[in-house]
Structure 1
């Protein structure tokens, strides 16, 4: 017994000595490391690297930029089951230990002694948090000691829930996902509250090794890890037996999800990205900014569809250029294919015995472009062709789906129309297909380009913008960067200048040959009308309606080039960039589609200059507003009673310094608005009467002129003008009602001709109509009311003079009060401010 007592005393002394030595070592380590430990108080105000997010005006995601996917959540926003899953996987005793688990460290030390390898770190969640925020991932004893002391400091500074919130938002979970909010979106395309127990367990299993247990890259190992987490959750009482059984049986449903983009507006997103980088530098991608644009989600979707449909229609009119590539298919492979299809003719099967891996590899080198998928022609006969698409899908095309594909010869010629499907397609052809009117059809990527932009004319807010067929195929933004000749769509600005100088819509101008000698035009210039005809004395209104070049040139000669250039600046054009010769009347300037839409907005809003903008509001990560647009706004007489649609920045009560708007308006085109923003009144550019008369004339362009195809929209509030340049290089249509102004452009980037008869009416107007038809569907008609100072009288359509009473062919025309044409007899006048009989009026007859 005495011997045993000595042994026990010796052990106690040894233990006490060891404890003392350990305490001394710990104290020494603390004194050594403590001065260099970071201040954990910074965790109270931690700033995550949160990506830049860009939204439409109606709060739909347009784009996300940043190296790290992160969606920070407050602790009370994280489902308890998800929290329990992480505790079960990483630190079951989290709420009991002081930040360091002695049991875990002992287990790690024993593993090190047994194997000589650092397989287990013994890290608690707090220690992992310390490492993620302050330390590297390098496995060294020094780092581990620092990690221990930091964990103890963190536990003193923060509550357990605060520590968990930081951890669950910071932890890396693979595929650029940081935190559980981002992981839910990346792997399942869901919010955390929509995850199943099995999905939560799958995410909770990732911190141990995000690449090894990734459910996308390694589904089998991910299942094993999920099973471990679920078992721990059951054993700890976090889930019951039924939940455990159901979750264990659940299949792997993870797949890679990008940002949940809801609005296809990549050209707008790039404009915003550049703007944000100029403002904030690299912080733009990490500081969690949210940018709300003026884009209307519905309008943007309609605009993309309108542009792509229009360019596809142009492409089909000009014939089939052939397959993108040809692949030699082995005879045995084709035999196996045909046998498989014969047994299982429905779409979705590739036939037994056929290795489609090589086929998928071929198609992978031809990624989708603008909604057009690549496909491999696997079998063809006279009536049908079977096209293999990536992933095993098979679609069948008949003659009607390839009937457009006459061979392309040049921009003005195609070959014979196909009589059989086999006239167009051959086995091994790599082609494009798309769903047209609900059916798969043969397609090809357009070589022609286009642009469409729509503005709110009351404040310049960009409602929709499409800079090309596919941003990812060409990032050149043709709305803002392409400088093209507008052709006759520029004429309204010249005609508006003429009205300001005293012309009236009834003024007669001689539509007759013009010969101009001008050194700037390299000698003698003999312009012609598009139809190469001459109409003699023509009213100004008809000159615009039928887009008569010779009338426009004579008008410009009369008012003077210098005056016209200065006047054009009222619409936002830079006179220095406009031609200083008579070709200005025919639209020989170089302007962008956005500049054209901005100019037409002056007519649409009753004569005010607005500046286009696309960023409505910038919000910081904490929800504070860092920037709020204050656009110059047309607001007459009171927006609260107006039927005009509202966009961010449009404010009521002209002249008010600040005001508050309701969350939405009640019109047919209502979208979200921002409240409590100072109202900045727009500056008048032209008179209300001038804008009204020009709008009236451009309504006639649609009613009976070059834009009459738009009558199919069955609206009387639309006005606009076509534009076509020499040799049909550019095709335009700009048009509007009082709520929205839209410009559409079609052309080749290298300025080659579009082809015979590809005028603005044929190439660009259908795009405009497709967009405006859907954008205005269900919206009430919106036209500018006749302003004071404008009167309507009956005139003789041949002379432009006041009509005699009872004249059978008399027509109504609008005039400024005081500028009525003369007449020998009194005329019937409608309006309250008609010029009395005998007062001075203007009658110009130019020959």
Structure 2
């Protein structure tokens, strides 16, 4: 036998043994790895990670949370050409192979032998799905073998359409975008069905290397990759020649379209995020939950604008603090001429070499969302020209500069400017607020903070909430977390307690100096009114309208601190945070704006206690309702007062006409507890309406309504400024102050600093809401009284006024005494 024959036999035998060994090794590996592969049920129940989304009650997106941005699409929602683009780029034999493309694996093996590098994986779409859902991305032979086994298993147990749908929704495409739906929005701001062939090819080219071929960071490489995909689509017959040529010539317009909320309500969204994490842990970020809050988008936008206006108005009153920074500018002759002769604002057409550098300077400036940076390029007699970040040359008119007295300290400013040059100089990078039509108002970056919260009185649902000026700078929620002294804003609860104790609006209290020795106050305390004056015997109604401190203190001393605290807890206040001394009368407790607004809902809704809440419902990824709010509601005559079973916030939809809001099916009522008698509520409403008509709340009269009631509040040295006001439909609290408590400045009272913010918001919140007077409870009596004595007036008393009393509290006619119906000993103590 020849040596050649013997060699051939040995070779065949060796190959056979090698084949047997390979098969045995394969079976051994399969036996070892198969138990670790996902079970059939797990393959059938694959869930995509979908971010948490938070909406207003009317369905406007407020925030999105989660590391993976995804818009899940059904198979028939993805355009066929998008699918073909992906197949051309990744796996054109997808419908032909059984999950593994042997030709692709051979090409990868040949490349490995030729280069020694594992640069080509030979992965099919099925294999990529297997890896992305169940395996790691490490490049090892063991992982590759598991990937192949799992691909075969998936092809046996899932149809091709399901596998393709999973891939198109799962694949990572850069910039937090997972799936073609999210990529279409991130890169082009479009739905996937709105993309043209060139844009589809760009997205289809990303799975190979999302960072390398990203059109936002590597535009030249991305264009090469896009054109490669287009060429493949043309070669495979997916694109006719004319469309292929058009697509190749298309100038890519990709830019980042972030997951920007349509409604700015970051403090509400953060409350929802925390609640979801408390309920679902880290799975809240990936489970596709949708949270609908009670916030109404129109009112939230009004709250945002009102707070911004209020904060900047305060800042303007206290002077200009200078530019963000100053830059040295080199302005050549032609540019100087153009700046001097340009008649209208608009794009900077000369395009000087420095323009891009100037815009880069502006891009580096980080400001709150209601401010824009501007570079001063020219200063005229009473105006200035500024370059904006968008590249426009716009104007700051004199009305936007005239306010800018130099800041000196909280209580003083420098002289008013005479010209624009007194305020700004060429090279200043300044903060701007828009006036419209290319005109701007010079601004500071405010240091002061504010908060506004608005509730529906019938069920406590939050209609709008803004917890500060700039969420990007401070996420501290001043509505729910800031415990501040409410000052005179707390007095209505003291006066309500006094009415329950036996006083009436006509009771006479002496507004006179008082010096108190109280161990709880650590010495002698001699409180004063804000004005520093004293007015002698005063009716209780007038004391509240004029916010007289001494009257509140005498009332509290007469009824007792424990009695007043017990009464305050009816409104939901925490007794542990209310001081047990006479400073309680002046609002020295620690109370959040939300607690204060909730307390005032009792006066607004007829005497019922409701709890504030912001969650309306929670849905899972399939739209199933996991939670729906069913708060206690004020509904004394539900069957008659509320049509068609509408309740609470749904009642508000019908009552004040909020458009486009869904009305859920009626459910069993949870009636709110009455905590205040109707007579007390009626008298407090009447007195608080007088605060608006005649007292410290007169700024609310600008709304032109007769059904508004409220109370200002200002603490010692003007550290905190408040206004809470309401009618039957809305109760709103506004606050202004510094996070680290310090004086706001002279005359920065609640009426000046907080009430305008409240008024701007309520102008929108009450638009179209009909006025409604509180119905007078049965048994109450209106009589004429002497305003000086509080006693019944004789028929000849020309100064007599009308006052309404609860049964049993009508004063008797008398010609002597103090005229009050209260106990003589109590009355004497008040003097």
Tell me the TM-score normalized by structure 2. 0.91
1:739 to 729, 747, 750: 729
- Summarize the alignment of residues 14-93 of structure 1 with structure 2, pairs less than 5 Å apart: 25-26=22-23, 28-37=25-34, 38-39=37-38, 41=40, 42-93=42-93
Contact in 2 for aligned 1:333/1:354 (Cα 8 Å) = no
Report the alpha carbon displacement of residue 737 of structure 1 after superposing the two structures with TM. 0.9
Give 3-state SS (helix, strand or coil) of 1:665's partner: helix
Indicate the residue corresponding to 1:688 in structure 2.
678
**Shift of the alpha carbon at 1:86?**
1.4
Aligned positions, number: 813
**Aligned mates of 2:744, 2:150 — CA distance in 1:** 70
Unpaired runs of at least 5, structure 1 = 1-5, 653-660, 826-839
- Aligned twin of 1:836: none
Rounded Cα–Cα distance in structure 2 between residues aligned with 1:808 and 1:254:
80
Separation in structure 1 between the aligned mates of residue 173 and residue 709 of structure 2, nearest angstrom: 55
Q: Kindly indicate whether the alpha-carbon contact (under 8 Å) linking 2:52 and 2:290 is maintained by their aligned counterparts in 1.
A: yes
Whole-angstrom distance in 2 between the partners of 1:16 and 1:610: 88
| In structure 1, C-alpha distance between the alignment counterparts of 2:315 and 2:595, rounded to whole Å | 27
* Aligned 8 A contact 2:646 2:666 in 1: no
Question: Which residue in the other structure is 1:210 paired with?
Answer: 210
| Cα separation, 1, equivalents of 2:332 and 2:551 | 65
Which deviates the most, 786-795 or 428-437? 786-795
Residues 413 and 76 from structure 1, CA distance in 2 versus in 1: closer, same or farther, beyond 3 angstroms?
Answer: same
Q: 1:256 to 1:77 in 2, by over 3 A?
A: same
The residue aligned with 1:797 is 787
- Note closer, same or farther for the CA distance 1:516–1:824 as it changes in structure 2 (3 Å cut): closer
1:667 aligns with 2:656: yes
Cα distance between partner residues in 2 of 1:25 and 1:156:
24
Task: State the Cα distance separating 1:18 from its structure 2 match.
Answer: 7.3
Asked if structure 1 preserves the Cα contact closer than 8 Å seen for 2:33 and 2:146, the reply is: no
1:551–1:795 distance in 2 versus 1, CA, 3 Å: same
Secondary structure, counterpart of 2:346 in structure 1: coil
Task: Provide the residue aligned with 1:387 in structure 2.
Answer: 386
**Is the 8 Å Cα contact of residues 645 and 739 (structure 1) preserved in structure 2?**
no
The alignment partner of 2:470 has SS state of: coil
1:243 and 1:161 map into 2 onto residues whose CA distance is 27
Structure 1 residue 666: deviation in Å? 5.8
- Measure the CA separation in 2 of the matches of 1:160 and 1:780: 60
Question: Which position in structure 1 is the counterpart of 2:336?
Answer: 338
What residue in structure 2 maps to residue 198 of structure 1? 198
Closer, same or farther: CA 74–640 of 1 in aligned 2, 3 Å: farther
**1:353-752 mapped onto 2 (5 Å cutoff):** 353-436=352-435, 439-638=439-638, 641-642=641-642, 650=649, 665=654, 667-669=656-658, 671-675=661-665, 677-752=667-742
1:566-622, Cα deviation, whole Å (9 max, x unpaired)? 111111112221121222111122211111111111111111111111122222234
How far apart, CA to CA, are the structure 1 residues paired with 2:436 and 2:389? 22
| Structure 2 CA distance for aligned equivalents of residues 651 and 378 of structure 1 | 54
Distance in structure 1 (CA, Å) of the matches to 2:457 and 2:190: 38
Is the partner of 1:146 in helix, strand or coil? helix
Match of 1:778 among 768, 775, 781: 768
CA contact under 8 A between 1:466 and 1:479: conserved in structure 2?
A: yes
Distance 1:252 1:558, change over 3 A: same
Structure 2 Cα separation of the partners of residues 344 and 106 of structure 1: 68
Superposed CA deviations along residues 628-666 of structure 1, whole A, max 9, x for unmatched, are 33322112211774399978x7578xxxxxxxx9xx636
**Contact 1:300–1:465 (CA<8 Å) still a contact in 2?**
yes
Shift of 1:437: 5.5
Q: Work out the CA distance in 2 between the residues paired with 1:733 and 1:666.
A: 25
Name the CA shift for 1:49/1:185 in 2 (closer, same or farther; >3 Å).
Answer: same
CA distance in 1, matches of 2:320, 2:756: 21
Shift of 1:136: 2.6
Residue 140 of structure 2 corresponds to 140
Provide the secondary structure at the position in 1 that maps to 2:711.
Answer: strand
CA contact (8 A) 1:457 1:740 kept: yes
Change (3 A) 1:239 1:565: same
Q: 1:14 to 1:80 in 2, by over 3 A?
A: farther
SS in 1 for 2:184: helix
The answer to which of 43-52 and 59-68 deviates more is: 43-52
Alpha-carbon distance, 1:234 to partner = 3.8
Unaligned runs of 5+ in 2: none
Contact kept, 8 Å, 2:632 with 2:671, in 1: the verdict is: yes
Counterpart-to-counterpart distance in 2, 1:783 and 1:250: 65
Farther-moved stretch of structure 1 (361-370 vs 107-116):
107-116
Structure 1 CA distance for aligned equivalents of residues 107 and 771 of structure 2: 77
Alignment of 1:152-167 (within 5 A): 152-167=152-167
Change (3 A) 1:45 1:248: same
What secondary structure is seen at the aligned counterpart in 1 of 2:63?
A: strand
Which digits, 9 at most, give the CA deviation of each residue in 1:426-480, with x for residues without a partner?
Answer: 2232210110365311111111111111111111111111111101112221112
Check whether the contact 2:74–2:165 (CA below 8 A) recurs between aligned residues. yes
Cα distance between partner residues in 2 of 1:669 and 1:403: 40
Q: Offset at 1:545?
A: 0.9
Question: Is 1:402–1:442's contact at 8 Å kept on the other side of the alignment?
Answer: yes
Q: Deviations over 1:227-253 (max 9, x none)?
A: 233333344444445543443333222
1:353 Cα deviation after fit = 4.0
Cα distance between partner residues in 1 of 2:427 and 2:645: 53
Gap change, CA 1:171 and 1:101, over 3 Å in 2: same
Cα 1:815–1:694 change in 2 (3 A) is same
Query: 1:274-313 deviations in whole A, cap 9, x for unaligned?
Result: 2222232222222222222111111111111000101101
Instruction: Note the C-alpha offset of 1:720.
Output: 0.3
Paired position in structure 2 for 1:313: 313
Q: State the shift of 1:404 in Å.
A: 0.6
TM-score normalised by L of structure 1: 0.90
* CA deviations over 1:141-198 (Å, ceiling 9, x no partner): 3333332222111100101111011111110100111112221222123333333333
Displacement of 1:535 in angstroms is 2.6
Measured in 1, the distance between the counterparts of 2:678 and 2:31 equals 76
Deviates more, 1:79-88 or 1:122-131: 79-88
CA shift in 2, pair 1:196/1:813, >3 Å = farther
How big is the alpha-carbon RMSD for the aligned residues of Structure 1 and Structure 2?
3.1
- Please report how far the alpha carbon of residue 30 of structure 1 lies from its aligned counterpart in structure 2 after TM superposition: 4.2
